[in-house]
Amino acid sequence: MLEINSFSNHILKDISFFLKENENLIILGANGAGKSTLAKVLSNLISNDKVTLQNKNISSLDDEQRAKLINYIPPKLEVFDEYICVYEFLELSFIGKINKEKIDETISLLKLEKIKNRACNDLSSGEKQLLLLASSIIHNAKITIFDELTANMDITRVKEVFELFNSQYLQQKIIITHNLDLAFNLKYKVLYLDEGELKFFGDSSEFFSKEVLEKFYHNCLEVVNNHLVVKL
Ligand SMILES: Nc1ncnc2c1ncn2[C@@H]1O[C@H](COP(=O)(O)OP(=O)(O)OP(=O)(O)O)[C@@H](O)[C@H]1O
């Protein structure tokens, strides 16, 4: 269970919502709407006392307790040690003891064998995002927030990520994305932000109705064969 109660700062305005146990969420909104800021508030990277996780105020949790409950995956991997390789990065992703079998299983799941000994800093943008995904599977927090995970992935990888999001590999997920077809097909609850204000929080079927799409995206989108396409 995740709750945020009347959070405001210079970007977000009076944000409140409640997510039930195991309920997944998509966060949508235009560039600069405040999506990443909200994700950082929910994971306490922007420290606050307005978020409750599993009935505990986030400000009362120590780092380990918080890491077990919520994990924010940023849009870009930043590694300061230029020599650290993919395998070593994954070793650092465990909250407790390292489990080499789990690392090998995750490498095989995401087909990362070819890059497992490469330096993280030498990876392409899409490979870095796959590494972040692998680290989140290993970390296995109660709630994982993905901030634009698929932005640099090729379409085959996006499809694999979609399937993974529909599997049991991760627990509760919060996904920030500009890929509206991914959002549409995941059928998670939707939160829409506009200039720091929460303008919609509700079910996928309601958000992706003709009326709501017209309200937020004007006449830019249509549903064709169960896919949301941009009318260019
Ligand atoms: N540390 C900061 N200091 C000042 N302004 C900030 C800071 N971080 C973000 N902002 C501003 O707050 C607004 C919201 O930023 P945020 O990154 O949350 O948007 P977003 O919805 O995730 O955008 P995008 O889709 O472009 O990634 C933007 O106008 C941004 O410039």
Please determine, looking at this structure, whether the domain spanning 2-203 carries the CATH number 3.40.50.300.
yes
**pLDDT at position 149:** 95
At residue 68, what is the residue type?
K
This model of the complex carries an ipTM of 0.96
Q: How confident is the model at residue 191 (pLDDT cuts 50, 70, 90)?
A: very high
**pLDDT at position 219:** 82
**pLDDT at position 79:** 87
pLDDT at residue 231 greater than cutoff 90: no
- Tokens standing for residue 223: 């549903």
Query: Which atom of ligand 1 lies at the shortest distance from residue 178's CA?
Result: 25
151 lines ligand 1 (CB under 6 A): no
Average pLDDT over the chain, rounded to an integer: 95
**Which residue's CA lies nearest to atom 9 of ligand 1?**
37
35 lines ligand 1 (CB under 6 A): yes
Instruction: Give the span between the Cα atoms of 4 and 42, in whole angstroms.
Output: 8
- Tokens standing for residue 109: 């799941």
Domains of the chain: which residue ranges? 2-203
Instruction: Give the span between the Cα atoms of 9 and 144, in whole angstroms.
Output: 23
Where do we find the tokens 């650092």? 92
Instruction: Give the span between the Cα atoms of 82 and 137, in whole angstroms.
Output: 23
pLDDT at residue 140 greater than cutoff 90: yes
Could you give phi then psi for residue 90, rounded to 5 degrees? -70, -35
Mean pLDDT of 18-42: 97
**pLDDT at position 10:** 97
11 lines ligand 1 (CB under 6 A): yes
10 lines ligand 1 (CB under 6 A): no
- Over residues 83-133, the pLDDT tens digits come to 999 999 999 999 889 999 999 999 999 999 999 999 999 999 999 999 999
179 lines ligand 1 (CB under 6 A): no
Q: How confident is the model at residue 168 (pLDDT cuts 50, 70, 90)?
A: confident
Q: How confident is the model at residue 63 (pLDDT cuts 50, 70, 90)?
A: very high
- Tokens standing for residue 20: 């039930």
- Tokens standing for residue 198: 């929460």
Query: Which atom of ligand 1 lies at the shortest distance from residue 176's CA?
Result: 22
What percent of the chain is predicted at pLDDT more than 70?
Answer: 100
- Over residues 101-113, the pLDDT tens digits come to 999 999 999 999 9
29 lines ligand 1 (CB under 6 A): yes
Mean pLDDT of 14-33: 96
Instruction: Give the span between the Cα atoms of 169 and 124, in whole angstroms.
Output: 24
Mean pLDDT of 134-143: 96
Strand pairing report for 70-73 and 143-147? parallel
pLDDT at residue 25 greater than cutoff 90: yes
93 lines ligand 1 (CB under 6 A): no
DSSP letter assigned to residue 46: S
Mean pLDDT of 39-60: 96
Q: What share of the chain is helix, strand, coil (3-state, %, to 5)?
A: 35, 25, 40
Query: Which atom of ligand 1 lies at the shortest distance from residue 37's CA?
Result: 18
Q: Facing residues of 85 across strands?
A: 119
Instruction: Give the span between the Cα atoms of 218 and 221, in whole angstroms.
Output: 8
Within 8 A by CB and 6+ apart from 142, the residues are 53, 54, 68, 69, 70, 171, 172
**Predicted model pTM:** 0.95
**91, HSE (Cβ side, Cα atoms, 13 Å):** 9
